Amino acid sequence: MNRARTDEQALVPEFEAPEFLREKCSQMQAEASYLGLGYRKARLEFEVYERLLTHFRANIERFRAEEMIDEIRAVATGTIPALIFEDESFNAQLAEELKPLHEAWAGMPLVLSYCYGIRCYQRGAFLYNHVDRQPHCISSTICVDHALNSPWPLHIENIDGRVSQINLEPGELVFYEGTRLVHGRPYPLDGDFYAGIFVHYYPADRAISAAGK
């Protein structure tokens, strides 16, 4: 299957989220503040990426079907859209290590919220457009590895409604304001897999003000 996309096609989701997800998304988006950062593509340091890839490959046999998530589906019914393997201590260490990178992008001190993954999307999977739940407001999606026949971009809508598509190669990431900017991968994954890990932080001053309440 060759799903080469033109730029024009690229901006139109192939799968529109169902009504209940669109409503949930608008509600959550309305409650989230915008920090003026938007999103930006970047790349991990080679040494950090090498460690992440080694971790992925070393645990490939330990991936299991991910619990059903409303936003993730597969084209063929009855197939598993995504596998998951989580090593809490590895993830915590990675997220702490990546904190300065996110702080540099955000221009403010951050607190680690959560690191999720590695999630391994399977052939035919897609991710409806959505926003992340609070307090995951400073996030990144990191490409660990993939075996794609055609691009499977991150679809992201800027605050002004402008849509971008960002293709990530292994070792690349996108910083983004996940609670405010609608994002997803609303196209069927054409390939064997796409593995990603997701790190989430929130501003340290929010933690201070919450503690002071």
By the criterion CB under 5 A, which residues form the site for Fe ion? 132
65 beta partners: 83
| Angle formed at CA 6 by CA 4 and CA 10, multiple of 5 degrees | 95
Residue nearest to Fe ion (CB): 132
Q: How far is the CB of 212 from Fe ion (least distance, A)?
A: 29
Between 66 and 132, CB nearer to Fe ion: 132
Q: How far is the CB of 3 from Fe ion (least distance, A)?
A: 22
Q: How far is the CB of 194 from Fe ion (least distance, A)?
A: 14
- Lookup: tokens for 190: 């054409």
Between 60 and 112, CB nearer to Fe ion: 112
Q: How far is the CB of 134 from Fe ion (least distance, A)?
A: 12
Q: Of 37, 48, 54, which is closest to residue 98 (Cα–Cα)?
A: 48
Between 44 and 156, CB nearer to Fe ion: 156
Say how far apart CA 165 and CA 7 lie, in whole Å: 9
What lies within 8 Å, CB to CB, of 71 at 6+ separation is 17, 21, 127, 128, 130, 184
Between 27 and 209, CB nearer to Fe ion: 27
